[in-house]
């Protein structure tokens, strides 16, 4: 009797499971479809796209659109390809992510372990900054950058992104360090370690998971940012602004294959960051809530 019910249970389980997998595969295919379209079309000559089926594999495979997107496509008035803008983006994103993450960690450390009068208000205000839309700060930011002589430069963009990201990185590290035992900091204090030594030797070594969260978050946001880039980039426009220029250009023939290649190039770094560090991302997000 019990064997029969068990058997039924197992087979029902199998059917349900097969159904679930089928559904998952369908969703995955649906989700991957745009990537497939971009991929195949970036490897075709242009006339195959204009004359034929978008979904078909290339009849003649070519890397020419990729080469063009990278080094010779017309961006604005110059036939430079995306390369210089890609470099701009890298020059902007690496320092901006590093600085905002380090400062966020320091803020979190101070707000939890070196509490001072009004620290909750300071934290509240920083948290508030997470909810301010980009558009609101455009004009004040432009004024500040102009006064600092940083308008239209990579350092200017770095400053903008550091300021804008600080609220988020502070939030991450503060919540992470709030769960870190204060007795450890006190013990280190009694052992004779100073402010930075405690940070460097005691807190930072256990901050890996939350640092990954902060880096991924900041990297994707800064890399993908368009508004600050076009507004304050000046002659040092980032990748996103260049991609827009390329795709939106109204002169000449629309080279869809080149556009596809360029779009993939623009998305590649964030993709790499996720693939490399993605699994730490979830772990880090969980770490604050569930203390191990």
Site for other proteins, rule CB under 8 A: 181, 183-184, 186-193, 197, 201-202, 205-206
Residue number, 180 or 260, with CB nearest to other proteins? 180
Nearer to other proteins, 150 or 188 (CB): 188
Q: Which two tokens stand for residue 133?
A: 């839309």
Inter-axis angle of helices 154-178 and 134-148, nearest 10: 120
Phi, psi of 75 (to 5 degrees): -110, 110
Smallest separation (angstroms) from other proteins to the CB of 42: 46
Q: Smallest distance, Å, CB 195 to other proteins?
A: 12
Inter-CA distances, 80 with 68, 76, 151, 180, 212, Å: 9, 9, 23, 50, 34
- Under DSSP, the state recorded for 180 is S
Please answer whether residues 157 and 229 qualify as being in contact, where contact means their C-beta atoms are separated by less than 8 angstroms. Answer: yes
Q: In the complex, what is the shortest distance from the CB of residue 56 to other proteins, in angstroms, rounded to a whole number?
A: 55
b/e burial code for range 206-244 (CB count within 10 A of at least 16 → b): ebebbbbbbbbbbbbbbbbbeebbbbbbeebbbbbbbbb
Of 197 and 279, which CB lies nearer to other proteins in the complex structure? 197
* Cβ contact 255:262 at 8 Å: no
CB nearer to other proteins: pick between 1 and 190: 190
- Residue whose CB is less far from other proteins, 188 or 242: 188
As measured in angstroms, the least distance from the Cβ of 179 to other proteins is 13
CB of 209 to other proteins, least distance (A): 13
Q: Which of 165, 157, 140 is nearest to 216 (CA)?
A: 165
C-beta of 188 vs 211, nearer to other proteins: 188
Enumerate the H helices of the chain as residue ranges. Answer: 2-41, 46-51, 64-71, 83-113, 119-128, 134-148, 154-178, 182-190, 195-198, 208-224, 227-232, 239-248, 256-289
CB of 203 to other proteins, least distance (A): 9
181 vs 252, beta carbon nearer other proteins: 181
Least separation in angstroms between residue 260's CB and other proteins is: 46
Q: For residue 131, what is the DSSP state?
A: G
């Amino acid at each position: 009797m019990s064997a029969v019910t068990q058997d039924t249970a197992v087979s029902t389980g199998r059917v349900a499971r097969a159904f679930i997998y089928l559904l998952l595969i369908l969703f995955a295919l649906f989700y991957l479809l745009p990537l497939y379209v971009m991929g195949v079309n970036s490897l075709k000559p242009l006339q195959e796209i204009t004359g034929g089926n978008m979904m078909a594999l290339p009849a003649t495979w070519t890397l020419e659109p990729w080469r063009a997107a990278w080094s010779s496509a017309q961006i604005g008035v110059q036939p430079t390809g995306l390369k210089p803008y890609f470099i701009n983006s890298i020059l902007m994103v690496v320092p901006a992510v590093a600085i905002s993450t380090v400062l966020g960690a320091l803020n979190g450390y101070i707000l939890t372990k070196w509490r001072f009068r009004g620290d909750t208000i300071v934290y509240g205000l920083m948290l508030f900054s997470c909810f301010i839309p980009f558009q609101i700060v455009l004009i004040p930011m432009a004024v500040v950058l102009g006064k600092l002589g940083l308008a239209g430069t990579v350092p200017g963009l770095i400053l903008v992104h550091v300021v804008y990201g600080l609220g988020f990185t502070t939030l991450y590290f503060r919540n992470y360090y709030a769960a870190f035992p204060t007795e450890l900091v006190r013990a280190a204090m009694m052992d004779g370690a100073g402010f930075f030594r405690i940070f460097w030797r005691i807190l930072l070594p256990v901050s890996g998971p939350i640092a990954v969260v902060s880096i991924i978050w900041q990297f994707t946001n800064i890399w993908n940012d368009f508004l600050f880039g076009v507004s304050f980039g000046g002659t040092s426009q980032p990748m996103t602004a260049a991609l827009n220029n390329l795709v939106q250009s109204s002169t000449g023939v629309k080279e869809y294959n080149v556009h596809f290649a360029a779009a993939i190039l623009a998305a590649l770094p964030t993709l790499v960051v996720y693939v490399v560090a993605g699994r730490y991302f979830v772990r880090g997000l969980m770490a604050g809530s569930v203390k191990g």
